[in-house]
A and B are shown apart, each in its own frame.
Chain A
Amino acid sequence: MAVTIAKEKWTSKVSEMVLGTEPNTVKVGGESTLPFLHFEGEIPNRPITALEVWDLEPTDWPDILKKPFEGVLNDPVAWAKKNVEYGADVVALRLMSAHPDYKNATPDECAATAKAVADAVNVPLIVIGCGVEDKDAEVLEKVGEALNGKNCLIGCATEKNYKTITATAMVNGHSIIASSPLDINLAKQLNILVTEMNLAANRIAIDPLVGALGYGIEYAYSIMERARLGALMGDKMLAMPVICFVGQEAWKAKEAKSPDDENPEWGAQERRAILWEVITATTFAQAGGSIFVLRHPESVKEVKKHIDKMMESNAY
């Protein structure tokens, strides 16, 4: 019998999401192959990086992480501009001031900040709440309105608050982040619930709640891998681009937080911490991640370098 070159033939692909408005749109997703296997399908869009901006000065960030943002940590607009200078493809605004333990800022206050940031930068915007589900629903409703037509990515929508967030995304033309705790079945179910409200499937990004290197990275990796295989085999409710909140996890790791003198044998903290963030992100790039929300500008540079290399075609 004739020799057949064994290449997988996938029947389906990841949906393509467009963020931002012309002429500054950014596209993610659309792959019809496993990550970076250019010889088995198309990878029309490269994975992108986002840098976080907070709407208040972070209290638990180590000094080495605050250093690149000196002078702008109290000014989200200036901080966002800085992120664009640093090469982030999109800006991720985290409305931490809404948290009851911080400023308990009102939805209107948050919406005003979001509007100011959106108007100041020419890249698409991701807006994330403070992580308290009820409050995020209230906040994102106002934020969605204030950013009407700007085609942002807002979240995180969970099983508890997805209805309000989905509704505001539909009315105001945004996409949403659907979060589920490291569980592919729940991720799929949440996507179904959201699409049943008639939000198009290509306006959902999956947030599997990834862990950092050394902190359960393999769980998220295998879930992302399984979701991508499902997507390529025709499971439309898992065929969404995946967003990975890498920065928040990597900078929580002891290996990133421990100062130079605590564990001298670990090497200098700055290099070590950035590496932790970079390795976490590039690992998830291999698992099919599309959007990497990072914290350190140097990580953006390194991750982009890695992606440049991986996007070189290996088709044959």
Chain B
Amino acid sequence: MILIGERINGMFKDIREAIMNKDPEPIKYWAKRQYEQCAAYLDINTGPTVDKADQPAVMEWLVKTAQEAAPLPCCIDSTNPDAIEAGLKVHKGKAMINSTTADQYKMDIYLPMAAKYNAAIIGLAMNEKGVPKSASDRIALAMEIVVNADMHGIPMEDLYIDPLMLPCNVAQEHGVEVLETIRQVKTLADPPPRTTIGLSNSSQNCTNRHLINRTFLIMAMAHGLDSAIADVDDDQLLDAVAAANILLNKDIYCDSFLKTFRSR
């Protein structure tokens, strides 16, 4: 399970304030903290309050600051291509772009960018019409992304299809479709693309959020999920992933399995 730490995002108050005050400390704290909590990537998002014109500069600062504090690659998260490219330019190591949709005009921007910077990229199984309801419609869009990524020479292991999980209190019928999509993505190419989800989205505005996130992550892992953007500060989530790795025969059991999962 490739965990992408969600915490460096301007949606969170402390990060929003850090951006406003140019205070690197909260960014560094969360970079380090998420590194200790098994994150393989740090998601970096300026949040919606930063002006579009300022986003590239802020992204550059966030990526640099985070990478100074933790030896991790970033998942550069924005709807603004200029902000993404600004992050990629200063990024050390192999970055991940978050994200393109299946809209041709977006793929034409982001896929060449991924190829140019040798970055991985998340492809959302949606387009301008929105998020499809059924697994088969999601898969059709995923296939568009697979074909386009291949045309740009992006290896399938660098393409992460996100079937888009919606909050279970408003779109309850999507859960099973997402699980089925995760399973079917693996049939789209050989070697297959990878899969990811925005885990916390599944419990937006719900009670018992951690329980819902944890339960859905394990169900998705059983369907072959490779990665998730998640709250890695949740110890129970990490323990559940460690146990799932054993039960899915991904890690070899030993009595200290919780501890070995956390050791890098």
Interface residues of chain A, those whose CB is within 8 Å of chain B, are: 1-2, 4, 6, 9, 184-186, 188-189, 192, 226-227, 230, 235-238
- Asked if residues B256 and A235 are in contact (CB atoms below 8 Å), the reply is no
With A2-B150, A237-B260 in contact, is A188–B189 under 8 Å at CB?
A: no
Report Cα–Cα, A1/B190, bound state, in Å. 10
Tell me if B253 is interfacial: C-beta within 8 Å of chain A. yes
How close is B118's CB to chain A, nearest CB, in angstroms?
Answer: 15
A6: chain B residues at CB < 8 Å are 191
User: What residue in chain B is nearest A1 (Cβ atoms)?
Assistant: B150
Report Cα–Cα, A79/B126, bound state, in Å. 74
- Asked if residues B150 and A189 are in contact (CB atoms below 8 Å), the reply is no
In B213-264, the 8 Å CB interface with A consists of: 251-256, 259-260, 263
* Interface pairs (13), CB distance under 8 Å: A2-B150, A9-B157, A184-B252, A185-B252, A186-B254, A188-B253, A188-B254, A189-B254, A192-B254, A192-B259, A230-B252, A235-B251, A237-B260
- Asked if residues A226 and B252 are in contact (CB atoms below 8 Å), the reply is yes
- Asked if residues B150 and A185 are in contact (CB atoms below 8 Å), the reply is no
- Asked if residues A238 and B252 are in contact (CB atoms below 8 Å), the reply is yes
How close is A42's CB to chain B, nearest CB, in angstroms?
Answer: 21
With A1-B150, A192-B259, A237-B260 in contact, is A185–B191 under 8 Å at CB?
A: no
A236: chain B residues at CB < 8 Å are 263
- Asked if residues A1 and B251 are in contact (CB atoms below 8 Å), the reply is no
Interface residues of chain B, those whose CB is within 8 Å of chain A, are: 150, 157, 189, 191, 251-256, 259-260, 263
Describe A's contact surface by its main secondary structure. helix
- Asked if residues B189 and A1 are in contact (CB atoms below 8 Å), the reply is yes
Report Cα–Cα, A134/B71, bound state, in Å. 44
- Asked if residues A4 and B254 are in contact (CB atoms below 8 Å), the reply is no
How close is B253's CB to chain A, nearest CB, in angstroms?
Answer: 5
Report Cα–Cα, A236/B251, bound state, in Å. 11
B157: chain A residues at CB < 8 Å are 9
- Asked if residues B253 and A185 are in contact (CB atoms below 8 Å), the reply is yes
Report Cα–Cα, A4/B157, bound state, in Å. 12
- Asked if residues B251 and A192 are in contact (CB atoms below 8 Å), the reply is no
A189: chain B residues at CB < 8 Å are 254-256
User: What residue in chain B is nearest A191 (Cβ atoms)?
Assistant: B254
Report Cα–Cα, A30/B149, bound state, in Å. 35
Interface centre among B189, B254, B259, B260 (most CB of A within 10 A): B254
A185: chain B residues at CB < 8 Å are 252-255
How close is B193's CB to chain A, nearest CB, in angstroms?
Answer: 12
A230: chain B residues at CB < 8 Å are 251-252
A4: chain B residues at CB < 8 Å are 191
User: What residue in chain A is nearest B264 (Cβ atoms)?
Assistant: A236
Report Cα–Cα, A230/B251, bound state, in Å. 7
User: What residue in chain B is nearest A4 (Cβ atoms)?
Assistant: B191
B189: chain A residues at CB < 8 Å are 1
A238: chain B residues at CB < 8 Å are 252
User: What residue in chain A is nearest B156 (Cβ atoms)?
Assistant: A4
* Shortest Cβ-Cβ A-B pairs, 3 listed: A188-B254, A189-B254, A185-B253
